[in-house]
Amino acid sequence: MAAKKNEQHPLRIEGYGSAGEGVARLEGQAVFVKGALAGEICQVQLLKVGKSAAWGRVTQVLTPVPGRQSPDCPRYPRCGGCQLRHMTYAEELRFKRQKVQDALQRIGGWTGRVEKIHGAEAPDRYRNKIQFPVADGPRVGFFRARSHEVIDAEDCLLQPLAATRLREAFKLWMERYQVPAYDERVHGGLIRHFYVRVNQRGQSLCAVIANGTDLPHQEELVQALRRGTPPTPEQKESIAPERSHIITVYRELQARRWHAEDLQPLFAKLGEENTGRTLVAVAALEQVGLITAADRGGAKFWELVPTAGKKNLADAPILKCLEEL
């Protein structure tokens, strides 16, 4: 008697498919069962029955195996970003070894044996590139499996914490300034994706994929993202100038004319190790109105601005921002 859709059967899971789904047999037909592990006996509901294969879901694990674990992500399996959070890492490596073995044998005709898959020392927080789709709400996260529905994701165990903070800062910026998300159903709205890349030094690169060329509140977004990725103490020390260094920069600008669009000579004179501090000092002096980039014969040079009273360097927005980090 042929199997039918929505029927339930107790099935023994014999192995894995290419995407990590369990594979069982029912009346000689392969049944692919998402969320089942090799060696288990599961109660399976058939969701689709074809001529040569069927697909189902686990309604109850009757006999679990040691390779099963409780998923450590609250969005699993709704989020389509992961498929194997119900597996221990050791079981995941066994599945991946078998996947390579099967591919080499079935496609390449190789008769050897893949001995071992060498796992990562830290299997979480390893991704350096994350692309968040954006939807109304706003929701900033990942697509549900096999759909374009966006699951809002406050965090992902595969991404670095810097990406988590940047994603939160970006979402709050959208909420605060009511920046609309793109709606693919009507081809309207603005924000489509938020992209983050993080290197091993903890530095981040962000990109906004938008439906148009006019992004509102850009300066506020930049400030929000900068606050969203607090630098390490070492990074902060390398760019935050002491008051004495700012005074030194001011006196250099007072002593001679420096090209405003090429500060390399100034960096060299004050020490390459102080480049970040010097750049911040110049920005702070300009922000409080002590210097300005004046046009002289088609080129811009830093010049001192005559002032009637004292200026408070602490009022410079760039120094306030560093102080808040």
Domain boundaries, the chain: 1-123, 129-230, 236-324
Give me 195's structure tokens. 């992209």
Per-residue pLDDT at 122 = 86
Homologous superfamily (CATH) of 1-123 is Nucleic acid-binding proteins (2.40.50.140)
Please say whether the beta carbons of 77 and 19 come within 8 A.
no
Q: Are 150 and 160 in contact (CB under 8 A)?
A: no
- Residue-wise pLDDT for 198-221, tens only, equals 987 778 899 999 998 889 999 899
Q: Residue 303's pLDDT is what?
A: 92
Q: How far apart are the first and last CA of the chain?
A: 69
Residue pair 126/198 in contact (Cβ under 8 Å)? The answer is no
Give the three-class secondary structure for 241. coil
For residue 71, is pLDDT > 70?
yes
* CATH class of the domain comprising 236-324: mainly alpha
CATH value of 129-230 in 2.40.50.1070, 3.30.450.40, 2.40.110.10, 3.40.50.11270: 2.40.50.1070
Span 267-319, pLDDT tens digits: 888 988 888 889 889 989 999 999 998 888 888 899 999 887 788 898 888 88
* Least confident among 46-60, 83-97, 105-119: 105-119
* pTM beyond 0.75: no
**The pairing of beta strand 53-63 with beta strand 29-34:** parallel
Q: Contacts by 98-101 with C-beta closer than 8 Å and gap 24+? A: 98/15, 98/16, 99/16, 99/18
d(CA 264, CA 180): 41
- Which tokens go with 87? 């597996």
Residue 28 falls in which region: left (phi positive, over 0), alpha (psi -120 to 50) or beta: left
Intrachain domains 1-123 and 236-324 with the same fold: no
The answer on pLDDT for 240 being more than 70 is yes
Angle, CA of 76, 67 and 19, to the nearest 5°? 55
Mean pLDDT of the chain: 91
State the pLDDT at residue 168.
Answer: 92
* 101: amino acid identity, one letter: Q
Q: Cβ contacts of residue 153 below 8 Å, gap of 6+?
A: 75, 79, 81, 132, 140, 141, 142, 167
CB of 191 closer than 8 Å to CB of 210: yes
What does the angle CA 296 – CA 302 – CA 308 come to, to the nearest 5 degrees? 110
Confidence of residue 32 (pLDDT cuts 50, 70, 90): very high
Q: Confidence band (pLDDT; 50, 70, 90) for 15?
A: very high
* pLDDT confidence of residue 324: 72
Query: Which pLDDT does position 229 carry in this prediction?
Result: 66
pLDDT tens digits, 295-307 = 888 888 999 998 8
> What number is the average pLDDT over the span 239-249?
92
Among 4, 71, 74, CA closest to 34? 71
Q: What is the mean pLDDT of residues 58-87?
A: 94
pLDDT band (50, 70, 90) for residue 263: confident
- For the record, the structure tokens of 170 come out as 């970006």
pLDDT at 2 over 80: no
Mean pLDDT on 66-83? 92
Closest by Cα among 116, 90, 112, 115 to 37:
90
Question: Does 173 have pLDDT greater than 80?
Answer: yes
* Cβ-contact 141, 151 below 8 angstroms: yes
Q: What is the pLDDT of residue 233?
A: 78
Give the Cα separation of 55 and 114 in Å (integer). 29
Helical spans, DSSP H, in the chain? 89-106, 161-177, 218-228, 233-239, 243-255, 264-270, 275-287, 317-324
What beta strand segments (E) does the chain contain?
A: 8-12, 15-16, 22-26, 29-34, 41-49, 53-63, 129-135, 139-143, 150-152, 191-198, 204-210, 258-259, 291-296, 299-304
